[in-house]
Amino acid sequence: MSYIGIVGSGNVGANTAFFIAEKGIEDVRLYDIQEGTAKGKSLDIMEAAPVRRYRNKISGADSLSDLKQAEMVVISAGTGRKPGQRPEDLFEINKDIIVQLARDFKQLNSPGIFIIATEPVDMLTTVFVEESGFVRERVIGLGGILDCTRLNYLVSRELGVSTENIACTVIGRHSNGMIFLPQYSCVSGIPLAQIMDHERIDAIISDIREAGNLIVDMAQRSSAYYAPSAACAELVDSIHMNLRRLFCVSVFLQGEYGYEGVALSLPCIIGKKGIEKVLAPELTSSQKHAFSISVEEIKSILEKGAVK
């Protein structure tokens, strides 16, 4: 029986399960280290099924081994950000959780694709690949897809155009160091720079860089979860249906732009096998420099918190 596994039944995990059910993709098994949480959330989601009319089954798993044969596993376990925290501040807090999960799924010899949603996503995607030994194609970090989603929304709001007509591209680190690629961003094929002036584009990019921080500061008690959950569901859909959609996701570098051994976001074709192709778009000299800075920053954080 095919199913999607989700580790972590908090806001991101539970809402990802809900969005998967809403899209009618596949059955879901939720797992959480806190006893009763996964089953309680699953029951709540299923009691909405008669109203929302989704047919997929959402259930709670008793142990991680119940996710062994999952077609894919979304990992959202860990601590979310609090006001004043940066994503990298969570590395030491969430690293051990991801390390243990990587080792557990390796021991279970799980065949599925893994989607890392826990922050800081680039560092933890790197750690998961290294600790699990899985090929990079099977490990996808949420990363740039969320930055692109936020950017598409703000551009649509600014122009009064449907988000369906907007395709913006963001690569690099999922942080305020993200790299916007205006030469690969458009509205129904029309370059964004021909529709918006540079000052307004720069202002929107500045807003995107601080989007996660703004949500944390406004909500006070939690970081963003609706948009990350929706992005996770889109990745799950593309894998399950073998849609081969193009998403900017965090991928373990193996020679792209001359770098390797760390994960950052690049445009990737996502299909049945996970990451089916990694694209390395041509960059300007300043964009290459920004990418190199992101690589070095991630390496520095990883070295300081080296896995024991």
Q: Is 7 helix (H, G, I), strand (E, B) or coil?
A: strand
Check if 240 is active-site: no
Q: In this structure, what are the phi and psi dihedrals at residue 54, rounded to the nearest 5 degrees?
A: -90, 150
Residue 135: CB atoms within 10 Å:
13
Rounded CA-CA distance 108/110 in Å is: 5
Q: Enumerate long-range contacts of 35-44, CB under 8 Å, 24 or more apart.
A: 37/9, 38/9, 41/9, 41/13, 41/14, 41/17, 42/17
The CA-based diameter of the chain, rounded to the nearest angstrom, is 55
Closest-CA residue to 174 (of 236, 91, 105, 255)? 91
Catalytic choice (174, 198, 240, 289) = 174
For 86, phi and psi rounded to 5 degrees? Answer: -95, 160
Half-sphere exposure of residue 211: CA atoms within 13 angstroms, side-chain side: 25
Q: Give CA–CA dist 46/43, Å, rounded.
A: 5
Bridging pattern class, strands 58-60 and 72-75: unpaired
Instruction: Tell me the catalytic residues.
Output: 174
